[in-house]
Copies of this chain bind each other. A is one copy, B any other.
Amino acid sequence: MKMANPETNSHPFYQSVRQNVTRLNQCLCIGLDPDPKKLPSGYSQTVAGVEAFLNDIISITKHHCVAYKPNISFFEALGLDGLHVLERVMKRIPSHVPTVLDAKRGDIGNTSAMQARYIFDYFGASATTVHPYMGGDSVLPFIEHRDRYTFILALTSNVGARDIEKLALADGRPLYSAVVDQCLTWHSIAQNVGLVVGATQDEMAKIRKQTPDQLFLIPGVGAQGGDYHAVKTVGQNQDGLALINMSRGILYASPTKSDMESKILQIINAL
């Protein structure tokens, strides 16, 4: 890890990430994407089973990860009962572990303000994710929650990234590069904007060069965690920080409840 410069960003979310990365000497963000069908044996494949499972996941991992990233869509897919589980899970996450409530929102200003209220005020998330497509006034209501952090989708890890995100602009750059520039402008307002940058993309190094100090939220690290170290080397900022997300590789590390803790800690300790 490079030497941290304490002057880079005094934002509470950033500082919380910094403290956890320094303490743990890794950049693991655990994605909470519960799917009843994938629960280890020992949990019922129900909404109640999901809640029991996530409570155990948090108990096992709360001192071993930099952040949690609950994906709201996985709770929504369970209906409002699932969102009630999310509400309780958010309260169960200890305050030293910041939460990125992955919601990928963004709308015209007054609607984005409603979305930000739901995610930041109702669920109490430390951070969220937002689509850049609708531009500045769709993003600003999130940024105006100055004590929270907003990660803008820059370059994602899915194959569809080529359809829009990588289109060549008139100045020769790909679209995502212009999005990164916009994010730098938005970040300058309250130092609370990060970037979602897909782990499977060679372009991560180029984006890192374009912005040495933005915090990256990096999804798409494989279930085996094989490319965690490669991604960390490329994706960490000048303070040595990144949020490298693993979901399935941690959550479903064991097919049975009984050895879930040992399997998960084995994976985390290898990071």
Which of A87, A162, A167, A172 neighbours the largest number of chain B CB atoms within 10 Å of its CB?
A: A167
Tell me if A46 is interfacial: C-beta within 8 Å of chain B.
no
B160 and A111 form a contact (CB under 8 A): no
Q: For chain A residues 136-167, which have a beta carbon within 8 Å of chain B?
A: 136-139, 153, 156-165, 167
Tell me if A51 is interfacial: C-beta within 8 Å of chain B.
no
- Output the least CB separation between A191 and chain B (Å): 20
B87 and A80 form a contact (CB under 8 A): yes
**8 Å CB contact of A135 from B108, B135, B137, B160:** B160
Chain A to chain B contacts (Cβ below 8 Å), 25 pairs: A71-B111, A71-B114, A73-B115, A76-B114, A77-B115, A77-B118, A79-B118, A80-B80, A83-B83, A104-B105, A108-B158, A131-B131, A132-B133, A133-B133, A133-B164, A134-B153, A135-B158, A135-B164, A135-B165, A136-B160, A138-B160, A164-B175, A164-B178, A169-B169, A169-B170
